[in-house]
Amino acid sequence: MALFTRPAPAAAPETWTPEGTLVSQRYRALEGATVLVYTADTDQGTARYAAACLGCTHRRERNASGNVMTEAEAAQAANGHATACRAVPRGLPARPDDTAAAKMIRTRLWARRYGTSPHPVRLSDFTGLRVDLQRPTDWIKALLSDIAQADPGFLAATPASSGQGIRFTVQPFGRS
């Protein structure tokens, strides 16, 4: 029996980094909740940023024009929320089980089925979900592959033109 061992300290919202993200800034809301500015841990393309409050349900991944956010825009959104939010710290959000996380991804993909042409899927499409999802990029890629294999009428997988990787495309309704 270890007499002088201490349990590992629990992560605090002020220093917590959700799995699959890179947190670049943190803001403190009026009553102490933490607001994160973060991006996904992807190594390709231009980084897309999002803001999420750990005290309330505020999530933001697009600017007022409906475009993806730069770090400066996400910081402005996070700071604006922090100056008005009266949420108290709630601790860390619970990590969903794999079934619930897969449902979040599937729901995001399903919203892309409306229209007449296939919709390309990018990993950055899931940046706004990363705080709630708490999964690494490899997990998302594997799930997309599983969905494409199980339901190719919903999500098609084709080799990338560069020869490296796979491209996923959400198929519109009524197309097989």
β-bridge partners, 119: 170
Of 51, 76, 92, which residue is a domain's last? 92
Helix (H) or strand (E) holding 59: strand 59-60
Domain hosting 163: range is 98-170
- Contact by Cβ (8 Å): 174, 154: no
Total tally of structural domains belonging to the chain: 2
Q: Report helix angle 137-150 to 98-110, nearest 10.
A: 70
Of 92, 125, 142, which residue is a domain's last? 92
Confidence of residue 124 (pLDDT cuts 50, 70, 90): confident
Residue with tokens 């619970």: 94
By percentage, how much of the chain surpasses pLDDT 70? 90
Average pLDDT, the chain: 89
pLDDT given at position 44: 65
Q: Do both 88 and 125 map to the same domain?
A: no
- Contact by Cβ (8 Å): 92, 16: yes
**Residue 11: is its pLDDT beyond 70?**
no
79 versus 7: the higher-pLDDT residue is 79
Of 72, 92, 112, which residue is a domain's last? 92
**Residue 9: is its pLDDT beyond 90?**
no
Q: Model confidence over 66-103: pLDDT tens digits?
A: 999 999 999 999 999 999 999 999 888 899 999 999 99
pLDDT given at position 164: 79
The DSSP line for 4-30 is T--PPPPPPTTT---TTEEEEEEEE-T
pLDDT given at position 14: 80
Q: Which amino acid is at 10?
A: A
Q: Do both 85 and 126 map to the same domain?
A: no
**Residue 139: is its pLDDT beyond 90?**
yes
pLDDT given at position 140: 95
Average pLDDT over residues 138-159: 94
**Residue 41: is its pLDDT beyond 80?**
no
Average pLDDT over residues 103-123: 92
- Helix then strand then coil, in percent of the chain rounded to 5, is 30, 20, 45
pLDDT given at position 162: 77
Residues in the chain: 176
